[in-house]
Amino acid sequence: MHSNSHQTLARSIAALGVVYGDIGTSVLYAFKECLHHDAFHGCLDHGPHQAADIVGLLSLIIWSLFTLVSIKYLALIMRADNHGEGGILALLSLAFPDATKQNAARTVRMVALGIFGAALLYGDGVITPAMSVLSAVEGLSIRPASATPVLHSDPAAGSPSLSVLLLTVGIITALFSVQYKGTGALGGWFGRIMLGWFVLLAVLGLSHIADHPAVFHAFNPWHGLHFLFTHGWSGLKILGSVFLVVTGGEALYADMGHFGRKPIARAWVWIVFPSLILNYLGQGALTLAHPEFVKDPNFHPFFALAPAWGHYPLVAIATAAAIIASQALISGVFSLTMQGIQMGYIPRMEICHTSQDEHGQIYIPKVNILLAIGCLALVLTFKTSSNLAGAYGIAVTLTMLATTALFFFASQRLWKWSATRALIVCAVFECIELTFFSSNTFKISSGGWFPLVLGLAIFTLMTTWKTGRALLQKQMAPPMPLDDFIASIAMAGTLDEHHKLHRSPGTAVFLAGNPAGTPNALIKNIKHNQLLHSRNVLLTIQTDQSRPYVPHPERVSVSDLTEDFHRVVAQFGFMEQPRIHEVLRASSEAGLCIDPDRATFFVGKERIIPTAKKRGMALWREHVFVFLSKHAENAADFFQLPPERVYEVSQVVEI
């Protein structure tokens, strides 16, 4: 029991560095953006009315964290785990486990919604590093602590100092440059650093709550509702900035597989939630104690919590926390990409495992480069965290809405909830999230368009790849069933020596997409070379989209066919990367021994030609699919076949 408790505590601390980095650094900019919001200035009064507005703002922050994070994700959504894994794609497979086999209109729409929600997470992965690091580094230019004139900027004018921009660019560049090393070396420190960060947030907040204890009234939700009801459209616009406090909420569910529900929940209840609340209350109390600062564009309520001597150390610690928060999102995007590849929505890419012990520690070079370019472009385009705040939030609200919609179906399937019960629960969260979405739509023109355009572009690429692969498989339907082919081989064995097929010594492994059909590479090998190997293995590697991991005993099934043919079907979960050495090891345990250094691997390669003659996708999407196919990693490299033992057989296919 003691050992289990110690392990849970260790995992809870580790979760601080991966799961709560994003939401933990929101204190750097969320309350500041609310105060500096034009709508807030427009509805702000002085005296007791100003105090009521600040308390109302704090109430909205507290209850947003409680309802969306504590109730929705921790108490409900995270109970829907797919063999321990979470995330919107895992939830999609729970809600519709046979989605690939169903063509019902509702199923197709919900699957599309889930994929669109996953695509939007890429926008979050691009914005979070830029927003977090820029917000932290901007602390150097905050008055009155700043004593370096070259670092000073005028946020009101939207003109940041060149030094702040260069430092931010340097940090982000360095962050992406070391991704290939993996998080194993630094991962152990992430949790400890973030534990110190959350303790510091609580201490800073507590040190100023006494300045204006009336902030405790914010725990009464009526103050938040009163703020919204009395300020109308202005209050709704401010909600777009309030939503910044929960932008990291989706990470709780996405990273559940790394730590488990209990450690994540305990870290939230005992460390993260109290620290965030105390810090926001401290920022509010400081603001009420100095109401003249509210309209000062240089006033930063978070950095103002620290004494003058602690300003630069606080900036350094905040920058470290921002880097850790960025790392968590980058790792999350890598994991999401691997899921997408395995589920057939993303082309094959090189996936590097950076740890021999932790399966989830991966590095995807192409994604890393694209993320780095996107983050740097955002920093250089928007220049300040206030400008970038306009692009932050709307993608997350749409992802949350998609998660809630999928949870409606998953809860009925997993726990046998009635449709009425599921509808009531989900309707509550949908109403809250739709309100936040409405408030974020005001930011579309000031930057909110970016994650929407990026999400739509990625959604188009994902659906184009999925549809294109389905059309390709349809066009490449095997010319004859495997049983008929083997029967023809047996008949050929009765012919005279002049017409018999020659048998080459050794083992040939043919990668087959359809286990019941004859691979095109096998037919072409016979047609052009007039020979068969002494032993022929038809290998089909499949992804079980309903499970993240497949137990080792279920890895392969081996069937002995006639005429020295063997069929091997290997199963992998959507969180696993198929590797040939693992397949061969499992096959050996099942009685079929294959030496990879002596076998020949035959791999089919398609040369795709888009055409308007066949009824498939729009012609422009077919060209996109061809482009993606040309840049996808070939099967030999993806499955890590021995390169000197691979023989590629090309085929022209029209779609």
User: Tens of pLDDT along 453-469?
Assistant: 999 999 999 999 999 98
pLDDT exceeds 60 at position 389: yes
Query: E strands within 408-530?
Result: 502-511
Query: Is pLDDT at 496 greater than 50 in this prediction?
Result: no
Query: Residues of the chain with pLDDT > 90: what percent?
Result: 40
DSSP 107: H
Quick one: average pLDDT of 394-406?
91
Give the pLDDT band of residue 108 (cuts 50, 70, 90): confident
Q: Does residue 265 surpass a pLDDT of 60?
A: yes
Stretch 239-265: mean pLDDT: 85
Say whether pLDDT at 263 is over 90.
no
pLDDT band, very low/low/confident/very high, at 199 (cuts 50, 70, 90): very high
Which segment of 170-184, 340-354, 466-480, 555-569 scores lowest on mean pLDDT? 466-480
pLDDT recorded at residue 41: 60
Contacts of 111 (CB under 8 A, 6+ apart): 92, 96, 99
Higher pLDDT, 298 or 549: 549
- Cα–Cα distance between 93 and 90 in angstroms, integer? 5
Q: Is the pLDDT of residue 6 over 80?
A: no
The predicted structure's pLDDT at residue 166: 92
Q: How confident is the model at residue 334 (pLDDT cuts 50, 70, 90)?
A: confident
Q: Which of 7-21, 181-195, 400-414 has the lowest mean pLDDT?
A: 181-195
Predicted local confidence at residue 10, as pLDDT: 76
Name the least confident of 166-180, 213-227, 379-393, 577-591: 379-393
Among 335-344, 355-364, 574-583, 637-646, which stretch is predicted with the lowest mean pLDDT? 355-364
Read off the pLDDT of each residue in 572-590 and give the average, rounded to a whole number: 90
336: left (phi over 0), alpha (psi -120 to 50) or beta: alpha
pLDDT at 201: 97
SS3 575: coil
pLDDT band with cut points at 50, 70 and 90 for residue 157 = very low
Rounded to the nearest 10 degrees, what angle do helices 184-209 and 273-289 cross at? 40
Q: For 35-62, what is the mean pLDDT? A: 75
Q: Comparing 37-51, 100-114, 220-234, which segment has the lowest mean pLDDT?
A: 37-51
| pLDDT in the model for residue 40 | 64
Mean pLDDT confidence for 541-569 = 87
Q: Are 376 and 129 in contact (CB under 8 A)?
A: no
pLDDT of residue 179: 86
Tell me the average pLDDT of the chain.
84
Domains and CATH numbers, the chain: 2-446 (1.20.1740), 476-654 (no CATH)
pLDDT-derived band at 146 (thresholds 50, 70, 90) equals very low
Q: How far apart are CA 142 and CA 151, in angstroms?
A: 9
Task: Calculate what percentage of the chain has a pLDDT beyond 70.
Answer: 89
Question: Which pLDDT band, with edges at 50, 70 and 90, does 274 fall under?
Answer: very high
Across residues 392-410, what is the average pLDDT? 90
For residue 148, what pLDDT band results from cuts at 50, 70 and 90?
very low
Contact 566, 558 (CB under 8 A): yes
* pLDDT tens digits along 289-307: 888 777 777 788 999 999 9
pLDDT of residue 499: 56
Determine how β-strand 502-511 pairs with β-strand 600-609. Answer: parallel
Confidence category of residue 102, pLDDT binned at 50, 70, 90: low
Of residues 102 and 555, more confidence is placed in 555
In angstroms, the Cα distances linking 106 to 111, 271, 296, 405, 409 are 9, 41, 51, 12, 11
- Count the neighbouring beta carbons within 10 Å of the beta carbon of residue 395: 28
pLDDT at 151: 40
Using pLDDT thresholds of 50, 70 and 90, give the confidence band for residue 252.
confident
Tokens of 584: 């061969």
Stretch 269-274: mean pLDDT, rounded? 95
